[in-house]
Amino acid sequence: MNNTIKTIDEYIANFPEDIQILLEQIRATIIEKLPEAEQCISYGMPAFKTLGKPLVYFAAFKNHIGFYATPTGHKAFANELSTYKQGKGSVQFPLNQPIPFNLIAQIVEFKHNENLSKTTKNKNPKLPNQEQVTNYLNKLDHPLKNVVEELRKIVLATDTEIGEQIKWNSLSFYYTGTMQAFDPKEYKRDIVVFNLHKKDVVLLVFPTGAKLSNNTGFLEGQFTDSRKTTSFCTLTEVKSKEKDLQASLKEWLTKVDK
């Protein structure tokens, strides 16, 4: 299977028509049971999530459809699945037999309830990114808060694929689109992070800024890693450097390994 596939539609389109019909029926069964489930490609196959946690996966093979509900899902329906070939957290539905759509729906419901239970038990569930950012800004006590807020507007206005979050205990911005797999320590998704340790300056850190052309000298710093920085002290300075900032952000986006 092509590892560049990004959507379930693309995945299904790779198979003969008769297999496409089965895959679409499985997908429809899951959606009918949980319309709010998030659809994605994970481990190279169609996947669904609820509450930010894995729900089920499925994939087509030469002689069967693989269905994956993690060990707990399969253990809960051990009797119902006993007639099928299984592995740890997986089951094979032969193509020469009817697909048990009703059983799939039951497993999906079980897994969602399990995810819901895990979320409820978490005393301090992680807030959505936007809520984290709002809370952070509401509590921010910094002499240059107005500079921070203006820079934030500029960054977000640059491109719709730039998202915001709280990372490294600070306001940061990242690429929200699909990327090729990479080592998290390379910080390839992180675009720019605010550094507010000093009271008289707002420092923007580009974790991978060294890859940018920086023809205007907008970015500064000689680091042993790939960081580059730029600083702002006043709203006037923000205005004067706005075009350079957005140019750097746009160039960064062109270098994403999609």
The last residue of a domain, from among 61, 93, 121: 121
**Is residue 85 located within the same domain as residue 157?**
no
Residues 111 and 138 in one domain: no
How many other C-beta atoms are found inside a 10 Å radius of the C-beta of residue 58?
24
Domain of residue 223: give its range. 129-254
Closest residue by Cα to residue 65 from 73, 78, 54, 56: 56
Whole-number pLDDT of residue 197: 95
Alpha helices (runs of H) in 63-198, residue ranges in sequence order: 70-76, 78-81, 101-121, 129-139, 145-158
Are 250 and 133 part of one and the same domain? Answer: yes
Give the chain's mean pLDDT: 93
Mean pLDDT score, 210-224: 94
Using one digit for the tens of pLDDT, what is the confidence trace for 44-67?
Answer: 999 999 988 999 999 999 999 999
Report how many domains make up the chain. 2
Domain boundary, last residue among 98, 121, 144: 121
User: What is the C-alpha separation between 232 and 238, in angstroms, rounded?
Assistant: 6
Examine residue 25 and state whether it is found in any structural domain, yes or no: yes
pLDDT of residue 59: 96
Same domain, 243 and 172: yes
Instruction: Specify if 3 maps to a domain.
Output: no
Neighbours of 256 (CB within 10 A): 15
Between 250 and 124, residue with greater pLDDT: 250
- Which pLDDT band holds residue 2 (cuts at 50, 70, 90)? low
User: How many Å apart are CA 29 and CA 65, to the nearest integer?
Assistant: 14
**pLDDT above 70 for 121:** no
Final residue of a structural domain among 104, 121, 138? 121
At which residue do the structure tokens 């890693």 appear? 225
pTM: 0.54
Burial string for 168-188 (b: 16+ CB within 10 Å, else e) reads eeebbbbbeeeeeeeeeeebb
Q: What is the DSSP letter of 185?
A: G
pLDDT value of position 87: 86
> Among residues of the chain, what percentage have pLDDT more than 90?
81
Same domain, 101 and 184: no
Contacts for 77 with CB less than 8 Å, ≥ 6 apart: 103, 106, 107, 110
For residues 17 and 115, membership in a common domain is answered with: yes
Pull the structure tokens for residue 173: 């911005």
What is the pLDDT at residue 29?
95
